Structure 1
Amino acid sequence: MSALHNRPARQPLRPARRLALSAVAVLATLLGACGKPQSEDPEARARLIEPIARVVLKVQKVAAGNRSGEQIYQGTCAGCHASGALNAPKAGDTAAWAPRIAQGFDTLTKNAISGIRQMPPRGGGADLTDTEVRRAVAHLANSGGAKFEEPPIAK
């Protein structure tokens, strides 16, 4: 016979032991709840986490019509074209951009202004001027191998 059959059966906890364990658990819960929570000073708390969680936002205000193609790409276009979301051609992907570049700058600009497939008009940047869209198209297409000239920013 195996050794398992010769082992004595496990005995259940005795009622006194079970009662003592329950009393200790209740007592620990009560004692834990009795502590007075410290009132937290929000300023002190902020100073404690600052070295780890400091966030500095730099707002760069540029008047509409004066943004460069790169600024527009970073602020509006990169959301889809950096990751390829919704089948958008990725910036720098020459294979994906080659057939689009072959259509010409004017066609690309027209499609960007009016929207195409899943891309909304003006790439979702409703405040973009036509010239800014042209700058963004030139910037993005040039990253894919085009040699388009970005319209200059008027001084």
Structure 2
Amino acid sequence: MSDAHHEEQSAIKTPKQLIVAVLAGFLVPIICIILLVQYVTNVQKVGAGSEGQTAEAIAARLKPVGDEGFTFKDVNAPRVFLTGEEVFKSTCSACHATGAAGAPKVGDAAAWGPRLAVGEDKVIGFALSGLRAMPAKGGNPDLDDVEVARAVVYMVNQSGGKFKEPEVPAPAAAATADTSASAAAVASTASAPAAK
């Protein structure tokens, strides 16, 4: 057997074809890369950080994280008591609007009847100290006793009762007097001539 039968035939038979094949091997990938770069960079894209130097972006970055979603209270300001309806909506409605855990629903005179029979002071006392499944102050320890009493009166009066709205304590007037006295003292020291 001769070796000629097993020789493989090449597609490149002349030196000119060899030069074209070598050039095509280099040029085709380069052209493909150039076309891909053109395709990717053709769309106008805003890079990350391009908008980072605007006044709004700088203010958002410098804003304290603790400010997000919190309302700061001035502890030195006179206390503003919530109304009974506000306390009911924020704290009491979870159980007293739905009747959860055996709580009497607001507006249900039959459910509130036995509770009203024990008297206003006892009903408010139960709300302040807790009763069965209800925690003290409805589970909101930030509520003042007056606010809890207002919520009880609101619920009872919505359910056919005739409880009297509790009085707001008077320390707010004393705090206002203290504030005005300290402001007058500051004003008198500011107006006094400086000693030489």
Normalised TM-score (structure 1): 0.57
- Distance apart, 1:80 and its partner CA: 0.4
Distance 1:83 1:66, change over 3 A: same
CA gap of 1:64–1:84, structure 2 versus 1, over 3 A, is: farther
Partner residue, 1:106? 121
By how many angstroms is 1:153 displaced?
A: 4.5
Other-structure match for 1:148: 163
Deviation at 1:133, TM superposition (A): 0.9
Q: Does 1:131 align with 2:146?
A: yes
Runs of 4 or more off by more than 2 Å in structure 1?
A: 152-155
Aligned match for 2:132, one of 117, 137, 141: 117
Q: What stretches of structure 2 of length at least 5 have no aligned partner?
A: 1-68, 173-196
The Cα of 1:64 is off from its aligned counterpart by 5.3
Structure 1: which 5+ residue stretches go unaligned?
1-56
Cα RMSD between the aligned structures? Answer: 2.3
- The 1-side partners of 2:139 and 2:101 are apart by 14
The answer to which structure, 1 or 2, has the higher relative contact order (CA under 8 A, 6+ apart) is: 1
Indicate the SS of the match to 2:90.
Answer: helix
Inter-partner Cα distance in structure 2 for 1:118 and 1:150: 25
- Residue 108 of structure 2 corresponds to 93
Q: Distance in 1 between matches of 2:80 and 2:114?
A: 29
Q: Tell me by how many angstroms 1:65 deviates.
A: 5.1
Identity %: 47
Checking the alignment, whether the CA contact within 8 Å between 1:67 and 1:153 is kept in structure 2 is no
Q: How far apart are the structure 2 equivalents of 1:93 and 1:118?
A: 19
CA offset digits 1:77-120 (Å, max 9, x no partner): 00000000011000000000011011111000110011001000
- Match for 1:72: what amino acid? V
Give SS of 2:88's match. Answer: helix
SS at 1:149 equivalent: coil
Task: Provide closer, same or farther for how the CA distance between residues 71 and 64 of structure 1 changes in structure 2, counting only shifts above 3 A.
Answer: farther
